[in-house]
């Protein structure tokens, strides 16, 4: 596919993404793509979007057993592996000791993510729109943990979303298992 790369250079002092990136998508993270009116972040979602655009051999056939290995690694990369690797990287950059390491970063990231999620849930019933989807199943556990840690006090839309989810018959049935 033809493409045009736009660079957003990191802030010299903070080493974080510049505010120009946040004007394109409120999560203020690279990569982001813009195509046919779609603005998409999250590298895994971007890859799936690009693969959906046409003929390609970068995704095993859905009927093959390789497809599920592909799916697992696609999610594992950012869902599991990135956290310890990036935490290790940040700890190496950190020069303070005691409780200070990472504290500013984690608080900033939590506020960024939770306020973004709250703004999205102000506009729609479920993450993908009007229909409950697997994205809701993926999001619920972390939001519930955030709630139990007292992180949702100023997030009314996430709170009402969780109440909606917890009221679903399937959710109640799943809770019977633990
Ligand atoms: N899970 C996201 C991670 C996005 C991310 O953290 N991007 C980094 C660069 S690789 C970034 O923009 N960092 C700048 C910042 O956090 O300010 C993805 O897969 O796209």
List pLDDT tens digits, range 19-53: 999 999 999 999 999 999 999 999 999 999 999 99
Is 168 within the bounds of a domain?
yes
Residue 15: pLDDT band (50, 70, 90) is confident
What would the pLDDT profile of 116-145 be if each residue is shown by its tens digit? 999 999 999 999 999 999 999 999 999 999
Indicate the average pLDDT of the chain.
Answer: 92
CA of residue 30 to ligand 1 center, whole Å: 5
DSSP assignment of the chain, as one string?
--------PPPTTT-S--HHHHTT-TT--S-EEEETTEEEESHHHHHHHHHHTS--SSS--TTSTHHHHHHHHHHHIIIIIHHHHHHHHHHHH----TT-TTHHHHHHHHHHHHHHHHHHHTT-SBTTBSS--HHHHHHHHHHHHHHHTTTTTT-HHHHHHHHHHHTSHHHHHHHTT-
Out of 8, 16, 29, mutate this one to test ligand 1's pocket (max ligand atoms within 8 Å of CB): namely 29
Measured from the CA of 46, which atom of ligand 1 is nearest? 20
Instruction: Give percent of the chain above pLDDT 70.
Output: 96
| Minimum CA distance residue for ligand 1 atom 6 | 29
Is 62 within the bounds of a domain?
no
Is 141 within the bounds of a domain?
yes
Confidence at residue 101, expressed as pLDDT on a 0 to 100 scale: 64
Query: Cβ < 6 Å from ligand 1: which residues?
Result: 16-17, 28-31, 42-43, 78
CA of residue 94 to ligand 1 center, whole Å: 18
Is 39 within the bounds of a domain?
no
| Minimum CA distance residue for ligand 1 atom 12 | 29
Structural domain total, the chain? 1
* Residue position matching structure tokens 């998409």: 40
CATH number at residue 164: 1.20.1050.10
Confidence at residue 17, expressed as pLDDT on a 0 to 100 scale: 94
Measured from the CA of 42, which atom of ligand 1 is nearest? 20
Is 100 within the bounds of a domain?
yes
């Amino acid at each position: 596919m033809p493409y045009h790369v736009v660079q957003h250079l990191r802030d010299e002092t903070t080493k974080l993404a510049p505010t120009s990136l946040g004007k394109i998508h409120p999560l203020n993270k690279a990569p982001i793509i813009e195509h046919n009116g779609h603005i998409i972040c999250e590298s895994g979602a971007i890859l799936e979007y690009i693969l959906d655009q046409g003929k390609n051999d970068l995704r095993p056939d859905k009927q093959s057993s390789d497809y599920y290995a592909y799916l697992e690694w696609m999610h594992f990369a950012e869902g599991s592996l990135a956290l310890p690797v990036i935490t290790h990287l940040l700890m190496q950059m950190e020069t303070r000791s005691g409780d200070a390491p990472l504290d500013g970063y984690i608080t900033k990231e939590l506020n960024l993510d939770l306020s973004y999620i709250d703004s999205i849930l102000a506009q729609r019933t479920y993450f993908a729109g009007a229909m409950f989807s697997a994205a809701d199943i993926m999001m619920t556990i972390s939001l519930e943990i955030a709630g139990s840690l007292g992180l949702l006090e100023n997030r009314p839309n996430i709170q009402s979303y969780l109440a909606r989810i917890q009221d679903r018959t399937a959710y109640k049935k799943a809770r019977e298992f633990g």
